[in-house]
Amino acid sequence: MDDPTTVSNQRNQSAPETPRLNLPARMSDSSVYLENLPSRTMHINRLINSNYNGSPSRTIYSDRFIPSRSGSNFALFDISNSPTSAEGKEDGSGTYNSLLRAALFGPYTPDKKDSLGSPACRNIFRYKTETKRSLHSFSPFGLDESVPGIIHSPVKAPRKVPRSPYKVLDAPALQDDFYLNLVDWSSNNVLAVGLGNCVYLWNACSSKVTKLCDLGIDDSVCSVGWAQRGTHLAVGTSNGKVQIWDASRCRRIRTMEGHRLRVGALAWSSSLLSSGSRDKSILQRDIRVQDDFASKLSGHKSEVCGLKWSYDNRELASGGNDNKLFVWNQHSTQPVLKYCDHTAAVKAIAWSPHLHGLLASGGGTADRCIRFWNTTTNAHLSCMDTGSQVCNLVWSKNVNELVSTHGYSQNQIIVWRYPTMSKLATLTGHTYRVLYLAISPDGQTIVTGAGDETLRFWNVFPSPKSQNTDSEIGASSLGRTTIR
């Protein structure tokens, strides 16, 4: 072996001193002095700077596989996925770094199950199937609320509809007949109800009950309908007559004839009153003239059980026990539109107050569907199978929603959002078919009636945007009273 002292003396005697490599003694270190390296370095540089072309038969791929690190466990590397001291910098670099980190790695949420001793942490970068993400998740900044400098708009919570009625009225002798229309709510906030052979008025502001009329033992009430001003009430009878009453004075103004059988449907259009009967006809009556009716509309092959004028008073929709839905104009004696898609009686009819020409209709037990029509283009828009007999439909004036009441076999009340027809609420409580439905003048409350001889009041729709005060309807005391 070499003597360390001899090697040290040789190093001290050489001038100038040059660095040597630590080589075995048998090799000549003069050949590997660093002073001989410049020539080799120049040769390597020439190779690097030259245009080197690889073999043409070999394909070179430059793309790299970048794995998703959203499921990575950075705790194993002692890497923090949240900004630390950088957030305090005044130049905003901390905010930028946190945004960039969130965009690249995603929000960091430590997994409680993944500890250093658990088997789940054996694979540091875990591959997992991507789940369905919202469109907001594709934003480069994500939806991490912890990221400073980003203000997210608040998510509107779904509106809650009370599941129980705020008031219940006993309504003795309220008939369980699908083809009748015995409940209507006036623009003056007065509810009219036909019970047996009598009509009662219930004031929603004062809860006062007034007996309007008594038809006698030989007649009964089949339909009631308020005029648009809310001062006059039309009453259809089982004898085929239509009576007009002044509600403020409780005085009958006139009686009009023309039908041979019961009058189960009524609809007002200004001073024009339409009446539908079991004799399959619809009579148009102008109460300003002495004639009992101005025209007769023929088309249905069975009892007319549904009548509704559009909000612009230009179109009349009628539904019958012949499973047909017809649309008439002001001057026609024959239907201008015929819809024959329903497979059961059509009693439930509602015009949209939000879109001109949008009509909704519901079918009976064998149909169970709510259908939507565009009477302007004569198009069938959509159909929703509700699973139960559709008895009534009414549209909200305040929002684009509607409510339906049902009979066999669920006896439920459903609040729908249009046009998605998603259910906002399903209300139960009636033990019989919910055959009668009316809406309050402010558009917030509905009243439902059934063969269980009860009237139930529900707050289902929001108030109009211009109205900040609570409705007078809900100011009455809660509890259960009788209407007669």
Angle, CA 315 vertex, CA 368 and CA 366 arms, to 5°: 15
Q: Is the pLDDT of residue 358 over 50?
A: yes
Mean residue pLDDT of the chain comes to: 80
Please classify residue 129 by burial: count the beta carbons closer than 10 Å to its beta carbon, then call 0-12 exposed, 13-18 middle and 19+ buried: exposed
* Section 470-483 average pLDDT: 50
428: Cβ–Cβ under 8 A, 6 or more apart, which residues? 410, 411, 412, 413
**Encoding tokens for residue 89?**
């910098």
CA atoms of 225 and 390, how far apart (whole Å) = 20
Question: Hey, which residues does 155 pair with through a beta bridge?
Answer: none
Number of Cα atoms under 13 Å in the Cβ half of residue 99: 12
H helices present in 267-372, as ranges? none
Other beta carbons within 10 angstroms of residue 241's beta carbon come to 19
pLDDT recorded at residue 11: 46
Q: Residue 392's Cα: distance from chain center in Å? A: 20
Q: Is the pLDDT of residue 153 over 80?
A: no
Q: Is residue 96 part of a domain?
A: no
Q: With left for phi above 0 and alpha for psi between -120 and 50, is residue 24 left, alpha or beta?
A: beta
CA atoms of 238 and 417, how far apart (whole Å) = 37
pLDDT recorded at residue 424: 95
Give the model's confidence band at 131: pLDDT under 50 very low, under 70 low, under 90 confident, else very high: very low
* Section 33-54 average pLDDT: 51
Instruction: Please give the residue that has the higher pLDDT: either 23 or 305.
Output: 305
CATH number at residue 260: 2.130.10.10
Q: Is the pLDDT of residue 139 over 50?
A: no
Q: Is the pLDDT of residue 441 over 90?
A: yes
* Section 73-82 average pLDDT: 53
Question: Hey, which residues does 243 pair with through a beta bridge?
Answer: 235, 255
Give the model's confidence band at 58: pLDDT under 50 very low, under 70 low, under 90 confident, else very high: low
Q: How many residues does the chain have?
A: 484
CA max distance for the chain: 143
* Section 170-177 average pLDDT: 96
Instruction: Please give the residue that has the higher pLDDT: either 457 or 14.
Output: 457
CA atoms of 385 and 444, how far apart (whole Å) = 26
Q: Residue 338's Cα: distance from chain center in Å? A: 30
Report long-range pairs for 115-121 (Cβ below 8 Å, ≥24 apart).
116/76, 121/73, 121/76
Task: Give the number of domains in the chain.
Answer: 1
Q: Is the pLDDT of residue 3 over 60?
A: no
Q: Is residue 201 part of a domain?
A: yes
Chain segment 372-396, per-residue pLDDT in tens: 999 999 999 999 999 999 999 999 9
CA atoms of 412 and 389, how far apart (whole Å) = 10
**Encoding tokens for residue 2?**
């070499």
Chain segment 266-317, per-residue pLDDT in tens: 999 989 999 999 999 999 999 999 999 999 999 999 999 999 999 999 999 9
Report long-range pairs for 97-104 (Cβ below 8 Å, ≥24 apart).
98/147, 98/148, 99/140, 99/141, 99/147, 99/149, 99/150, 102/141, 102/142, 102/144, 102/147, 103/140, 103/141, 103/142, 104/69
H helices present in 106-241, as ranges? none
Lowest mean pLDDT among 34-48, 57-71, 198-212: 34-48
CA atoms of 466 and 435, how far apart (whole Å) = 32
Q: Is the pLDDT of residue 437 over 80?
A: yes
Which sign does the torsion angle of CA 451, 457, 461, 465 carry?
positive
pLDDT recorded at residue 144: 47
CA atoms of 444 and 442, how far apart (whole Å) = 6
CA atoms of 332 and 6, how far apart (whole Å) = 129
Strands (E) across 43-141 are located at: none
Angle, CA 135 vertex, CA 134 and CA 141 arms, to 5°: 100
Q: Is the pLDDT of residue 132 over 50?
A: no
Angle, CA 366 vertex, CA 223 and CA 333 arms, to 5°: 50
482: Cβ–Cβ under 8 A, 6 or more apart, which residues? 169, 170, 171, 172
Given a contact cutoff of 8 angstroms between Cβ atoms, the answer to whether 298 and 281 are in contact is yes
pTM (predicted TM-score): 0.68
Q: Is residue 271 part of a domain?
A: yes
Question: Hey, which residues does 106 pair with through a beta bridge?
Answer: none
**Encoding tokens for residue 65?**
């596989």
Q: What percent of the chain has pLDDT over 90?
A: 61
Q: Is the pLDDT of residue 263 over 70?
A: yes
Q: Is residue 192 part of a domain?
A: yes
Other beta carbons within 10 angstroms of residue 279's beta carbon come to 17
Given a contact cutoff of 8 angstroms between Cβ atoms, the answer to whether 334 and 299 are in contact is yes
* Section 328-335 average pLDDT: 90
pLDDT recorded at residue 482: 73
* Section 348-361 average pLDDT: 97
Is the N-terminal amide bond of 165 cis, ω within 30° of 0?
no
Q: Is residue 48 part of a domain?
A: no
Q: Is residue 16 part of a domain?
A: no
Q: Is residue 91 part of a domain?
A: no
**Encoding tokens for residue 201?**
């008025």
Q: Is the pLDDT of residue 344 over 80?
A: yes
* Domain membership of residue 201 as a residue range: 167-463
Q: Is residue 434 part of a domain?
A: yes
CA atoms of 336 and 328, how far apart (whole Å) = 5
pLDDT recorded at residue 409: 87
Q: Residue 298's Cα: distance from chain center in Å? A: 39
Other beta carbons within 10 angstroms of residue 375's beta carbon come to 20
pLDDT recorded at residue 59: 56
Given a contact cutoff of 8 angstroms between Cβ atoms, the answer to whether 295 and 272 are in contact is no
